[in-house]
Amino acid sequence: MTDRFVLRSVGEAVATLTLNRPEVLNSCNRQMVDELRAAFADAAADDGVRAVLLTGAGRAFCAGQDLAEAVPPAGEPTPQIGDIVANYNALIRAMRGLEKPVVCAVNGVAAGAGANIALACDLVLAADGASFIQAFSKIGLVPDNGGTFFLPRLVGTARATSLMMLADKVGAAQAAEWGMIYRTVPAAELMTTARALAVELATQPTRGLGLIKRALNATWANDLDRQLDVEEALQREAGGTADYMEGVRAFQEKRRPRFVGR
């Protein structure tokens, strides 16, 4: 598949993925979602990639579904809405299933599917001028891309309900204050800061970070008893990694550890 709408580059063990349809605020057409899902699958398969950085080209992060594709001009075939959503679901599953840290640099507005793709990342940084809009209700739709899963868990049901029903725009500062995202960054520093964070993560015990992600994925569906079992199983796995040995040795030898991600 050609990378027409998602630019990809790999450096310092970080795969940088840039949504690239700036003329329509990086709204998602079918091919862009396919390319993005393929990029996450490739990141999972490539041992040389230990973290992912996702951002958007131009002034927006992503304005959600390309509405020109969802409801095309008369005479052109209209895609089944269920097929569009199934394709997004495959993307969100690929993102949450990728056992490597995913940093999101929200460089501008993140609306509809775009907002929820951002919330599916592990560490979300937003430029101070960026914003999040659960735009779905304004066009008669329901939040998708995991929005009804992530948002109430991040900000609580009362705030999630108001954001989903009123489609209010939430500025980056408020999103951070509400716990929707990790932090805001001055716009001019966003990419440097997000990249430094992704590179730093890529030098860490990334197998262990992937297992933390697996534990967090599991926690929402589990009671304490089951989650303790999950932790035990994951700790056995983490305890078998070379990075665990290296971490302990480095501590004992009072030196910086050299983690390899295994």
To ligand T3D, the closest distance from the beta carbon of 217 in angstroms equals: 22
Centre a 10 Å sphere on the Cβ of residue 87 and count the other Cβ atoms it contains. Answer: 15
26 is a contact residue toward ligand T3D (CB under 6 A): no
Ranges assigned E (strand) in 88-147:
102-106, 109-111, 123-127, 131-133
Binding flags for ligand T3D, 97-136, as an x/- string (CB under 6 A): ------------x-xxx-------------------x-xx
Considering the complex, state which of residue 150 and residue 259 has its C-beta at the smaller distance from ligand T3D: 150
For 22, the token pair is 């700036």
Considering the complex, state which of residue 21 and residue 100 has its C-beta at the smaller distance from ligand T3D: 21
Q: Are 133 and 167 in contact (CB under 8 A)?
A: yes
Q: Which residues pair with 9 in a beta bridge?
A: 16
81 is a contact residue toward ligand T3D (CB under 6 A): yes
Q: Is 110 helix (H, G, I), strand (E, B) or coil?
A: strand
- If residue 9 lies in a helix (H) or strand (E), which one and from where to where? strand 6-11
66 is a contact residue toward ligand T3D (CB under 6 A): yes
Q: Which of residues 27-56 bind ligand T3D (CB under 6 A)?
A: 27
Closest to 143 measured CA to CA, from 126, 167, 121, 123: 167
160 is a contact residue toward ligand T3D (CB under 6 A): no
To ligand T3D, the closest distance from the beta carbon of 27 in angstroms equals: 4
Binders of ligand T3D: how many residues, by CB under 6 A? 23
To ligand T3D, the closest distance from the beta carbon of 59 in angstroms equals: 7
146 burial (CB, 10 Å; 0-12 / 13-18 / 19+) is buried
Considering the complex, state which of residue 64 and residue 101 has its C-beta at the smaller distance from ligand T3D: 64
250 is a contact residue toward ligand T3D (CB under 6 A): no
146 is a contact residue toward ligand T3D (CB under 6 A): no
Q: Are 140 and 65 in contact (CB under 8 A)?
A: no
Which positions ≥6 away from 196 have C-beta within 8 Å?
Answer: none
Give the number of C-alpha atoms closer than 13 A to the C-alpha of residue 52, restricted to the C-beta side. 32
67 is a contact residue toward ligand T3D (CB under 6 A): yes
187 is a contact residue toward ligand T3D (CB under 6 A): no
To ligand T3D, the closest distance from the beta carbon of 240 in angstroms equals: 41
Q: Are 150 and 119 in contact (CB under 8 A)?
A: yes
Residues that bind ligand T3D (CB under 6 A): 24-25, 27, 63-68, 70, 81, 84-85, 109, 111-113, 133, 135-136, 139, 141, 144
